[in-house]
């Protein structure tokens, strides 16, 4: 299939109709087939999990084929006064200014579980960056509410500041646009709200985990930015390799299809930032950081072994403190999902973070 064939009307509409008709036939058959555990993607998946994973795999495949557009807006909407519009700062030195076509702009963010008081900002504050292959998802309640509220609850009801960064298929959204936005949000906490960096924890899932890692890298590699390192980082299934990203282990058990990855790799990289660049494929370029990093990943994710390898490489650098927690029988995309499968992961994260910051 030639990329772009089904991204415009009328072909997009035709493909969508075929997709709906196909799934209306296949889903009931799948629900019968999956009654038998050995017929599921993974025999240890529960019945409901197996159905949900397959349904999301179908959706994400077809989203990649038709190239679904997420409509982002700076209007508060349902989030009301919890939604914040942030203006960019005057300078973005280093790699953030290498591509003149990618310039900082106003961005949005959402507070969870509510707008923090001045006293709340004296405690632990979390900057969270959502996932979605740099093309999907948002910081809004419908997408990020479950995950961000759970994150807050597990860290003493800490305020969570969820960034709504530019997506790669928006005008001016290719890399490093989302990293520019991450710097904008981090600087907002530091300079506009006067949050002590020793009280800030950066969190990111999937593509957001990639951005959390590159934010830490940018801070240590760009002294001209004059940004202090945060107290800790939580990395939930971070995307760490954009070169060997189609390796096959666990592909049949995971919900991430090739079509979604292919779409992301069409949209995100540029000539300045190809897939092998240190800020794109962090697994190939480990770095030193003073920020303790806790990672976790589901053991049935297609990129699980890459994530394990990245953690190992980072650990081998002197003075880096990296924790890793693997969750058995869990595919990608668990952070925003209403699942109890990550309860023990949160216990491990709490233990790790408590050595560096109170909550």
Residues present in the chain in total: 359
Burial of 134 (0-12, 13-18, 19+ CB in 10 A): buried
- Look up 43 and say whether it is catalytic: no
Catalytic residue among 203, 206, 237, 264: 206
CA distance 138 to 133: 11
- Residues with a catalytic annotation lie at 206
């Amino acid at each position: 299939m030639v990329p772009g064939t089904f991204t415009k009307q009328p072909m997009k509409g035709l493909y969508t109709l075929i997709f709906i008709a196909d799934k209306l036939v296949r889903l009931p058959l799948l629900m019968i087939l999956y009654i038998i555990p050995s017929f599921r993607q993974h025999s240890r998946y529960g019945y409901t999990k197996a159905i949900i994973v397959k349904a999301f795999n179908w959706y994400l495949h077809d989203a990649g084929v038709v190239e679904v557009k997420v409509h982002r807006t700076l209007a508060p909407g349902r989030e009301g006064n919890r939604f914040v519009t942030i203006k960019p700062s005057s300078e973005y030195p280093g790699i953030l200014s290498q591509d003149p076509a990618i310039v900082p702009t106003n961005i949005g963010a959402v507070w969870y579980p509510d707008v923090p008081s001045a006293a709340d900002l004296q405690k632990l504050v979390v900057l969270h960056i959502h996932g979605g292959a740099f093309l999907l998802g948002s910081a809004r309640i419908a997408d990020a509410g479950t995950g961000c509220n759970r994150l807050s609850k597990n860290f003493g009801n800490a305020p969570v500041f969820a960034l709504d960064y530019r997506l790669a298929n928006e005008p001016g959204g290719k890399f490093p646009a989302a990293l520019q936005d991450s710097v904008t949000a981090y600087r907002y906490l530091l300079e506009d709200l006067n949050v002590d960096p020793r009280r800030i924890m950066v969190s990111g899932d999937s593509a957001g985990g990639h951005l959390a890692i590159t934010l830490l890298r940018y801070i240590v590699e760009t002294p001209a930015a004059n940004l202090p390192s945060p107290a800790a980082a939580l990395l939930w299934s971070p995307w760490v390799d954009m070169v060997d990203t189609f390796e096959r282990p666990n592909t049949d058990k995971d919900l991430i299809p090739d079509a979604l990855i292919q779409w992301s790799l069409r949209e995100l990289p540029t000539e300045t930032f190809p897939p092998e660049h240190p800020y794109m494929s962090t697994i190939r370029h480990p770095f030193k950081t003073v920020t303790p990093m806790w990672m976790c990943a589901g053991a049935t994710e297609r990129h699980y072994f890459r994530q394990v390898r990245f953690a190992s490489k980072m650990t081998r650098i002197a003075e880096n403190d990296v924790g890793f927690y693997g969750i058995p029988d869990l595919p990608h995309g668990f952070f925003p999902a209403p699942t109890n499968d990550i309860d023990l992961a949160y216990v491990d994260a709490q233990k790790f973070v408590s050595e560096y910051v109170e909550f």
